[in-house]
Amino acid sequence: MIRFIHAADLHLDSPFKGLKKMHPSLFDAIHQSTFASFKKIVTTAIEKKTDFVLLCGDIYDGENQSVKAQSFFREQMKRLQAAHIPVYLLHGNHDFMGRDSLRIQMPDNVSIFKTEVETQLLTTASQERVAISGFSYPSRWVKERMINHYPSRKRAVDYHIGMLHGFFEGSASKEDVYAPFSMADLLERSYDYWALGHIHKREVLNQQPIVAYSGNTQGRNPNESGDKGVYLVELEKGSEPTMTFIETAPIVWKEQQLSLKGLSSLQSVYAEIEGCLERASEAKKTVLLSIRFDDYDCLSKDVLERIKEGDLLEGFNQQQSDKGIYLYHLSLNPLKEQFLFRYDEAMQASFEKSGHAFREKDYLQTILQDLFKHPSMRGRFSELEQDEELAETIIQSARNLLFEDIAFEEGDETS
């Protein structure tokens, strides 16, 4: 029987863009969270007496791997070395190979895959023979089907494991398509386990053999919500494989929907938020909470302005939570009945037609093209130009803003 850790997408020293308005102590905790998560992974590997550790790409957050991140990683590798635990590591699209002169050398227990597919051989303390196949990215843009270079299962070993940082064809993930592969590609090689990286949401794609994304080890933005961590895997000949998910992230992102039905005052909304914060807290974790309001049609225009302008959120952000929960975003969901021109069918139809036009991909991109041509956007956020979720958010936000302004103006006139 062999026991190992399958981890991926550590993104050590991630900058966590867009969070610097938080309280300095909280921002520092968030920035350190990728390090804390990996330290827990190493501790788990030692405590569970694993035979080896697999790290499936994007160890660091960028091509220019900071000395801080490399030094920390090296110290953790030395902890594993002291426990006689080997590590098999490949680099992905974020931390691709290159700039060797800027790399800190790792201890001897760390095997780093080269840029061509290769197979490493290992004999465990219990004399189990293991083959591990994988490759590291030579550059960020690996579009080739690298799976075609993976060998078939070695007959002279007890277990053969594949490591691959890539995109599963047919996946609904919004991650970029790097080193694509199909399930047929993987099964054809008759390996005992496929350890995948690149997709930040953990998912088991196949049971026999197990094909799995472990997900990233610490959520870095609101789209990476939920528990994050690694898989502890046990393989034994003649028995069903076992996988245990182990949470490692010290910080969790959450989103809650909160109904304000019948509420009209600032005090009543404030009290509802306090209750929501109480319910969302978790022991031994820091929770970053986003609240989206529903059924707020009874709120006065003044209270709505306090929400939209960020005044209400700022009031909560001034507080230091003793329960480890922080509110980072407040927003209004579109009201369910959005008939802006209920007495003018032609105008309402024209409004709906305009909304459908904006959902045409080419049309919206044409409108936004000047924005994405700006050097700041082109250099740092170019991938957002193709982000369908962002496009839908823009449209919904514009629609909601129009509804609020027109509907509440009409309400003021008739009151």
* 183 neighbors 222 (Cβ within 8 angstroms): no
Which has the higher per-residue pLDDT, 42 or 61? Answer: 42
pLDDT (0 to 100) of residue 285: 87
Closest by CA to 148, choosing from 166, 130, 160, is 166
Whether residues 41 and 186 fall in one domain: yes
Sheet holding 325-332, edge to edge: 251-259, 286-294, 325-332
pLDDT digits (tens, 9 = 90+) for 198-217: 999 999 999 999 999 999 99
Helices marked H in 24-150 — which ranges? 24-47, 67-82
Task: State the chain's mean pLDDT as an integer.
Answer: 85
Angstrom distance (rounded) from CA 247 to CA 215? 11
Same domain, 327 and 405: no
Structural contact between residues 260 and 272, judged by C-beta atoms closer than 8 angstroms: yes
User: What is the tens place of the pLDDT at every residue in 229-257?
Assistant: 999 999 999 999 999 999 999 999 999 99
Structure tokens at 355: 């909304």
Q: In this predicted structure, what is the pLDDT of residue 415?
A: 42
Higher pLDDT, 99 or 55: 55
Distances (CA, A) of 396 to 256, 283, 408: 18, 35, 18
Confidence of residue 392 (pLDDT cuts 50, 70, 90): low
172 — pLDDT class (breaks 50, 70, 90): low
- Percent of the chain residues past pLDDT 70, beyond the cut: 77
For residue 108, which amino acid is it? D
What is the tally of structural domains in the chain? 3
Q: What is the pLDDT of residue 411?
A: 47
Tell which residue, 293, 313, 264, 304, has the closest CA to residue 407: 304
Provide CB contacts within 8 A for 351, sequence distance 6+.
340, 341
Identify whether residues 59 and 199 lie together within a single domain. Answer: yes
Q: What pairs with residue 132 in β-bridges?
A: 120, 161
Domain identity same for 240 and 272: no
Average pLDDT of the residues in 96-100: 78
CATH code for the domain of 145: 3.60.21.10
| Nearby residues of 319 by Cβ (< 8 Å), 6 or more positions away | none
The torsion angles phi and psi of 302, rounded to 5 degrees, stand at -65, -40
**Do 167 and 255 sit in the same domain of this protein?**
no
Interval 4-34: pLDDT, tens? 999 999 999 887 765 656 666 677 788 899 9
The reply to whether 231 and 312 lie within a common domain is no
Taking the model in full, what pTM does it have? 0.79
| Residue range 298-342, pLDDT digits in tens | 999 999 999 999 999 988 876 656 678 888 889 998 765 555 565
Note the pLDDT of residue 11.
Answer: 93
Question: Does 357 score more than 70 pLDDT?
Answer: no
Considering the domain architecture, whether residues 146 and 228 belong to the same structural domain is answered as yes
User: Quick one: which H or E segment has residue 346?
Assistant: helix 345-358
- Identity (one letter) of the amino acid at 202? R
Domain match, 361 and 214 both: no
Query: What is the predicted pLDDT for the residue at 413?
Result: 47
Residues 8 and 139 in one domain: yes
What residue numbers bound the domain in which 301 lies?
A: 251-333
Same domain, 313 and 359: no
Domain match, 297 and 241 both: no
Which residues, listed in sequence order, are joined to residue 133 by a DSSP beta bridge? Answer: 119, 162
CA dihedral 53, 56, 58, 60 (to 10 degrees): 10
Question: 231, 247, 263: which is the final residue of a domain?
Answer: 247
Same domain, 202 and 297: no
Query: What's the pLDDT score for residue 414?
Result: 44
Residue 195, pLDDT score: 98
Query: What is the C-alpha to C-alpha distance for residues 346 and 332, in angstroms, rounded to an integer?
Result: 27
> Which residue did the predictor score with more confidence, 352 or 293?
293
The DSSP element (H or E) to which 331 belongs, if any, is: strand 325-332
Listing DSSP states for 157-204 in one string gives SSEEEEEEES-BTT----S---S-B-HHHHHHTT-SEEEEES-SS-EE
- Quickly count: other Cβ atoms within 10 Å of residue 379's Cβ: 8
Kindly state the percentage of the chain with pLDDT values over 90.
58
Type and span of the H or E element at 302: helix 301-308
Q: What is the mean pLDDT of residues 65-89?
A: 95
